[in-house]
């Protein structure tokens, strides 16, 4: 199996004022103190805080990400933001295809793929979100939706170094509901099989995150599921205490691995 470094990303959504940077500084210091083990840690604050967040975390183990980018590199698009602007502000990652964007802004797979391509073009790593709604799950269409979203949203030029997939069942976001670890493992294995068609031989190295009501109380069992390479965390990423309660799963994992010398 190709080793995949765990990744825990926080999506602050439309939350956070300058005062929230104190929480980010606490996260930075906790990660520096080893609280997240070897896991890669990303925080995606609102666009207004990206430059300050990147400055605050410069030289640390925290990477900063955006929450969205336009498919075009510049132009007459009032209120929008390009991948190059995110990169210029200090972002390394950008989330695209989040269900809140797909639903509230009617973003299609094709549009999301364009945004992901723009991200890759600007040198950002794209975190592409996919996931079924409650109705799609009820109707037994989960796997068909995931297949369509993987095929439609992931750029053909993507590889393990430029793309991360986040499986976020829409019905699990902000609800306190989660799939069982077995369901998550099945979905992730299915996603990986379909990624293989896009990047033959490389899908085994792509990180697939689970997102949707990940909390300190359920992180250990969700993150231990097969094919789960980390988490995309919403509400629980807003405080250092909760975010580290999740990322801390990897500290324990490192500790239990024992002697890590070569
Ligand atoms: P919650 O963790 O608040 O359910 O949000 C998940 C999410 O949408 C992350 O992108």
Mean pLDDT on 148-168: 96
Residues 6+ apart with CB under 8 A from 40: 5, 6, 7, 8, 61, 63, 230
Separation of CA 195 and ligand 1 centre (Å): 23
Atom of ligand 1 nearest to the CA of 174: 4
Q: Is 107 exposed, middle or buried (0-12, 13-18, 19+ CB in 10 A)?
A: buried
User: Residues with catalytic annotation?
Assistant: 98, 168
- In angstroms, what is the span from residue 229 Cα to ligand 1's centroid? 16
Report which protein residue has its CA nearest ligand 1's atom 9. Answer: 234
> What ligand 1 atom has the least distance to the C-alpha of 98?
10
Closest C-alpha to ligand 1, atom 5: 234
How open is the CA angle 105-130-193, to the nearest 5 degrees?
Answer: 155
pLDDT band of residue 245 (cuts 50, 70, 90) is very high
**CA 135 – CA 212 distance, rounded (Å):** 16
Q: Would you say residue 261 has pLDDT above 50?
A: no
- Residue 1 pLDDT > 90: no
pLDDT recorded at residue 260:
41
List pLDDT tens digits, range 15-66: 999 999 999 999 999 999 999 999 999 999 999 999 999 999 999 999 999 9
Residue 252's pLDDT is 74
Query: Of all atoms in ligand 1, which is nearest to the CA of residue 214?
Result: 2
Q: In this predicted structure, what is the pLDDT of residue 255?
A: 62
| CATH topology (fold) of 7-39+46-253 | TIM Barrel (3.20.20)
Cα of 87 from ligand 1 centre, angstroms: 23
Please list every protein residue whose CB sits less than 6 Å from any atom of ligand 1: 11, 98, 168, 173-174, 211-214, 232-236
* pLDDT band (50, 70, 90) for residue 3: confident
210 burial (CB, 10 Å; 0-12 / 13-18 / 19+) is buried
**pLDDT above 90 coverage of the chain, percent:** 94
The answer, yes or no, to whether residue 14 has pLDDT greater than 60, is: yes
Give 258's pLDDT tier (boundaries 50, 70, 90): very low
13, 173, 223, 230, best to mutate for ligand 1 pocket (most atoms within 8 Å of CB): 173
Give the residue-averaged pLDDT of 64-89.
Answer: 98
Task: Provide CB contacts within 8 A for 232, sequence distance 6+.
Answer: 9, 11, 95, 127, 129, 166, 168, 209, 210, 211, 214
Six token digits for residue 96: 């695209």
DSSP class of residue 239 equals S
Mutate to test the pocket of ligand 1, among 45, 177, 214, 222 (most ligand atoms within 8 A of CB): 214
Please write the tens of the pLDDT for every residue from 172-226. Answer: 999 999 999 999 999 999 999 999 999 999 999 999 999 999 999 999 999 999 9
Mean pLDDT computed over every residue of the chain: 95
Could you tell me which residue, 209 or 2, shows the higher pLDDT? 209
Q: Domain spans of the chain? A: 7-39+46-253
Residue 141 corresponds to which tokens in the numbers above? 């269409």
Q: How far is the CA of 130 from the centre of ligand 1 (A)?
A: 12
Whole-angstrom CA distances from 55 to 11, 33, 39, 40, 164 are 18, 19, 21, 18, 24
Q: Could you tell me the pTM of the whole model?
A: 0.96
Which residue lies with its CA nearest to atom 7 of ligand 1? 234
Q: pLDDT at position 154, please?
A: 97
Q: How confident is the model at residue 259 (pLDDT cuts 50, 70, 90)?
A: very low
Q: For the chain, what percent of residues have pLDDT higher than 70?
A: 96
Cα dist. 199→126, 194, 206 in Å? 15, 9, 10
């Amino acid at each position: 199996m190709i080793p995949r470094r765990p990744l825990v990303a926080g999506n602050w959504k439309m939350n956070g004022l300058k005062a929230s940077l104190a929480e980010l500084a606490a996260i930075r210091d906790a990660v520096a103190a080893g609280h997240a083990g070897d896991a890669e840690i990303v925080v995606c604050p609102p666009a207004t805080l990206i430059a300050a967040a990147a400055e605050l975390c410069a030289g640390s183990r925290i990477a900063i990400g955006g929450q969205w980018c336009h498919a075009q590199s510049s132009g007459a698009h009032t209120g929008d933001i390009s991948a190059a602007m995110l990169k210029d502000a200090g972002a390394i990652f950008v989330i695209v295809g989040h269900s809140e964007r797909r639903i509230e802004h009617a973003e299609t797979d094709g549009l999301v793929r364009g945004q992901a391509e723009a991200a890759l073009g600007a040198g950002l790593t794209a975190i592409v979100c996919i996931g079924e709604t409650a109705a799609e799950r009820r109707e037994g269409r989960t796997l068909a939706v995931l297949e369509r979203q993987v095929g439609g949203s992931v750029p053909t030029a993507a590889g393990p170094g430029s793309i991360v997939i986040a499986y976020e069942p829409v019905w699990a976001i902000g609800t306190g509901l989660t799939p069982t670890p077995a369901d998550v493992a099945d979905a992730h294995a299915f996603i990986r099989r379909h990624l293989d068609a896009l990047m033959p031989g490389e899908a085994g190295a792509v990180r697939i995150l689970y997102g949707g009501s990940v909390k300190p109380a359920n992180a250990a069992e969700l993150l231990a599921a097969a094919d789960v390479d980390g988490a995309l965390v919403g509400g629980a990423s807003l405080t250092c205490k909760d975010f580290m309660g999740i990322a801390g799963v990897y500290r324990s994992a490192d500790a239990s691995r024992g002697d890590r010398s070569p």
